[in-house]
Structure 1
Amino acid sequence: MHNLIIIGAGTAGMSAYKEALKHTHNIRLINDGAWDTTCARVGCMPSKILVSTANRLHNANHADRVGLNLQIESDTSRVMTHVQALRDRFTRSVIRDVDSWNPEHKISGQAKFINANTIKVNGEQLQAKAFILAVGSTPRFDQDDQKALGDRLISSDDIFELPDLPKRLAVIGSGAIAIELSQAMHNLGVEVTTFARSRHVGILSSDNLQNIAQAHISQNLNILFETLPTSVSLDGDEVVIDYQDQQGQPQTIRIDYVLSAIGRNSLLSTLDLHKVDASFTDVKKLPIHDDTKQLGDYPMFVVGDAFSKNPIQHIASFTGKHVVSNALNYPQVEALPKLSPLAIVFSNPQMAIAGQSKKELERKNIDFITGFQSFENQGRARTLGKNFGGIEVYIERSSQRLLGAELFMDSAEHLAHMLSWMIAEQVTLEDILDCPYYHPTLEEGLRSALKHARRQFRELG
């Protein structure tokens, strides 16, 4: 019997394997598919390569914002080749690491449970004292659309394999992935139509920032809020989409591909978990303890995108590493350490949440003050020609500690990191205002939001 079996060799599984090796070599790592990560192959890295290229072209096309009159002749024929070449470089780095591991520990195949201590893979039964389930997720599709469109319906797992940029693209969804790819494709000259079930874009929970983001994004991107296709069909090599506009009038567009970005489904459904417990038939209702990642009372622990409210690379890596202690010490399990929350969308401008979101604080009935600053007239943002968006900071009324922040602004990724670190240190409003703010910088916009919060505290006495 093995001390530990890890199922899935993505970010979380790899992190768990490296940590487990510090304690035992009586271990197996089972993986069904490529021995690399979703992030490197079809997620974080190729999407950010595409976004970076698109942003470079977008900035050049809007150089008039900084007093330049540029005559741009862009050739985007090499964009997908560039994305794939750099993506392959990242995946090769991951695979080189995997190739250095003990080959006896690695098994390629699909695992299925027979009982709580036994799995079957490639016709062989393996037993372990504990399991870490890091099987990841797969893109969600509308089944009827998939039957109607075949390979003309693609996901974020497929789009980076296209040999060339499409001429016309429809995107279904308005979450983080949908907005990133919609804007990137549009900025690269693709004719993009984005269908959004609601009016919500990206990750922002603040109504104020949502309104700002929706207004700004829709200025350039053809995003159809509260609108979904009524039918899709193929006409030769073209996809025909019918829908009703906001006035209820029928509309039709013809495009090359439909990109489905409506979320992902857990691959826990492939493991036959019902053979462990008859109640484990619906993976969405599995009793996974949020603090320990334990599945029920069994020696099984779930990490990564397989079951996560925050399917983010650094969280998968962190929890994969720290869950090993619970797996090896079962039945004694402890709450895993927690990272200060941090989420970023590489939209244009970027969205970010550091610490707790506004919606989360309201749901917990926490008494807090909101400080806001628009970036429309912020000094450094205006000099950059990127004076749009805004920032909110959330300060606890009783302690005046910074609890969270939401951002929609240029380069939000950097300011969000700093805010997340500050929140982890439990700094107060005055602590942050006492820090230096170089002039002129975007950080001065943060100071303005903090000062707005301080004025409210003084008015409250």
Structure 2
Amino acid sequence: MYDLIIIGAGTAGISAYKEARKHTNNLRIINDGAWDTTCARVGCMPSKILISTANQLHDAHHADRVGLNLKIDADTSQVMQHVQTLRDRFTASVIKDVESWHPEHKTSGQAKFINANTIDVNGEQLQAKAFILAVGSSPNIDQDQKKILGDRLITTDEVFELPYLPKRLAVIGSGVIAIELAVAMHQLGVDVTVFARSRKVGILSSEHLQTLAQAHFSQSVNILFETLPESMSRDGDGVTIEYQDQQGQSQSIKVDYVLSATGRSSLLSTLDLHKVDAIFQDIKKLPINHDSKQLGDYPLFVVGDAFSQNPIQHVAAFTGKHVVQNALNYPDIQALPKLSPLAIIFSNPQMAIAGQSKKELEQQHIDFVTGIQSFEKQGRALTLGKNVGAIEVYIEKSSQRLLGAELFVESAEHLAHMLSWMIAEQVTLADILDRPYYHPTLEEGLRSALKHARRQLRADSE
């Protein structure tokens, strides 16, 4: 019997394996499919390669914002090859690391539970004192539509395999991946139409920032809010989409591909967990402890995209590492350490949430003030020709601690990191404003938002 079996070799599984090796050599890691990660193969890395290329072309087309008159004759025929070449470099690095592991620790195959301590893999029964389930997720797709549209209906796992950029693309969804890819594709010259179930784009919960983001992206990308296709049919080498516009009029467009970007579903359904306990039949109702990651009272622990409110690479790596102690010390179970929340969308401009969102604070009935700063006239943003969006910071009235922030600005990825670290240290508004702010920088815009919050706090105390 093994001390531990890890099922899944994505980011969380790899992190768990490396940590477990520090404590035991009596372990096994099972993986069904490629021995790399969603992040490196079809997620964070290929998408950021595409976005980086798109942003550079976008900046060239808008060089007039910084006093340049450029004549752009862009050849985008090699973009997808560039994405795939660099993507393969990242996946090769992951695979090289995996190849250095002890061969006897690795098994390729699909695991299925027989009972709480036994799985079947390739006809072989393996037993362990505990299991870490890091099986990841797969993109949602309508299988009936797939039968009709064939290779013209693609998922976010498949989009990076296209040999060339399409001329016309329909994107179903307006969440994180959908808005990132829609904006990038548009900047690369693709005619993009987004079908959005709601009016929300990305992750921002602030009504003010949502309004800014919706207005900004709608100026360039054709976003059909509160609109979904009524029908889609194969039309030669493309797809014809029928829908009703906001006035109730029937409309039709033809695209080369339809990108389904409506989220991902856990692969826990592949494990036959109902054989462990009959109540595990519905994976959407699994009793997984959010703090310890334990499934019910069993020696089973679920991490990564298989079960996460934040399917983010660094969160998967962190929980994969720290859940090992619970697995090896079962039944002595402890709550895992918590990370200060951080979420980023690499749109243009970027969106980010550091700490708690405005909606989360309101739902908890926390008494806070909102410091706001527009970036339309912010000095550094103006010099960059990227004076779009705004920042909101949320300061608790009683303690004057920074609790969270939402951003829709240039370089939000950097500002959000700094804010997340501040929140983790439980700093107060006075602490933050007492730090240096070099001139001219985007950070000065953050300082302005913080000063706006301070004025409100002072007004409340008078």
Find the counterpart in structure 1 of residue 206 from structure 2.
206
TM-score (norm 1): 1.00
Find the counterpart in structure 1 of residue 178 from structure 2.
178
Gaps of 5+ in 1: none
Query: Partner letter of residue 56 of structure 1?
Result: Q
- Provide the C-alpha distance between the structure 2 equivalents of 1:285 and 1:206, rounded to a whole number of angstroms: 29
Gaps of 5+ in 2: none
1:401 Cα deviation from its structure 2 partner? 0.2
Find the counterpart in structure 2 of residue 447 from structure 1.
447
Find the counterpart in structure 1 of residue 380 from structure 2.
380
Superposed CA deviations along residues 310-342 of structure 1, whole A, max 9, x for unmatched, are 000000000000000000000001000011110
Find the counterpart in structure 1 of residue 146 from structure 2.
146
1:419 Cα deviation from its structure 2 partner? 0.3
Question: SS at the partner of 1:381?
Answer: helix
Query: Partner letter of residue 197 of structure 2?
Result: R
- Provide the C-alpha distance between the structure 1 equivalents of 2:453 and 2:397, rounded to a whole number of angstroms: 10
Runs of 4+ residues over 2 Å off in structure 1: none
TM-score (norm 2): 0.99
Query: Partner letter of residue 230 of structure 1?
Result: E
Alignment of 1:283-432 (within 5 A): 283-432=283-432
Find the counterpart in structure 2 of residue 13 from structure 1.
13
Question: SS at the partner of 2:444?
Answer: helix
- Provide the C-alpha distance between the structure 2 equivalents of 1:147 and 1:231, rounded to a whole number of angstroms: 14
Query: Partner letter of residue 299 of structure 2?
Result: P
Find the counterpart in structure 1 of residue 104 from structure 2.
104
1:438 Cα deviation from its structure 2 partner? 0.8
- Provide the C-alpha distance between the structure 2 equivalents of 1:215 and 1:160, rounded to a whole number of angstroms: 28
1:212 Cα deviation from its structure 2 partner? 0.6
1:143 Cα deviation from its structure 2 partner? 2.7
Alignment of 1:193-272 (within 5 A): 193-272=193-272
- Provide the C-alpha distance between the structure 2 equivalents of 1:336 and 1:49, rounded to a whole number of angstroms: 33
1:238 Cα deviation from its structure 2 partner? 1.5
Say whether 1:78 aligns with 2:78: yes
Question: SS at the partner of 1:454?
Answer: helix
Say whether 1:188 aligns with 2:159: no
Question: SS at the partner of 2:280?
Answer: coil
Find the counterpart in structure 1 of residue 136 from structure 2.
136
Identity of aligned residues (%): 80
Find the counterpart in structure 1 of residue 158 from structure 2.
158
Cα RMSD (Å) of the superposition?
A: 0.5
Superposed CA deviations along residues 222-280 of structure 1, whole A, max 9, x for unmatched, are 11100100000001112000001111100000111000000001000000000000010
- Provide the C-alpha distance between the structure 1 equivalents of 2:219 and 2:313, rounded to a whole number of angstroms: 31
Query: Partner letter of residue 131 of structure 1?
Result: F
- Provide the C-alpha distance between the structure 2 equivalents of 1:24 and 1:267, rounded to a whole number of angstroms: 27
Shifted more, 138-147 versus 229-238: the winner is 138-147
Question: SS at the partner of 1:279?
Answer: helix
Superposed CA deviations along residues 84-119 of structure 1, whole A, max 9, x for unmatched, are 000000000000000000000000000000000000
Question: SS at the partner of 2:391?
Answer: strand
Query: Partner letter of residue 126 of structure 2?
Result: L
- Provide the C-alpha distance between the structure 2 equivalents of 1:255 and 1:298, rounded to a whole number of angstroms: 49
1:221 Cα deviation from its structure 2 partner? 0.7
Query: Partner letter of residue 330 of structure 1?
Result: Y
- Provide the C-alpha distance between the structure 2 equivalents of 1:239 and 1:219, rounded to a whole number of angstroms: 25
Alignment of 1:270-281 (within 5 A): 270-281=270-281
Superposed CA deviations along residues 27-46 of structure 1, whole A, max 9, x for unmatched, are 00000000000000000000
Question: SS at the partner of 1:19?
Answer: helix
Query: Partner letter of residue 322 of structure 2?
Result: H
Shifted more, 140-149 versus 395-404: the winner is 140-149
1:144 Cα deviation from its structure 2 partner? 2.6
Question: SS at the partner of 2:23?
Answer: coil
- Provide the C-alpha distance between the structure 1 equivalents of 2:26 and 2:190, rounded to a whole number of angstroms: 52
- Provide the C-alpha distance between the structure 2 equivalents of 1:55 and 1:49, rounded to a whole number of angstroms: 10
Superposed CA deviations along residues 300-319 of structure 1, whole A, max 9, x for unmatched, are 00000001000000000000
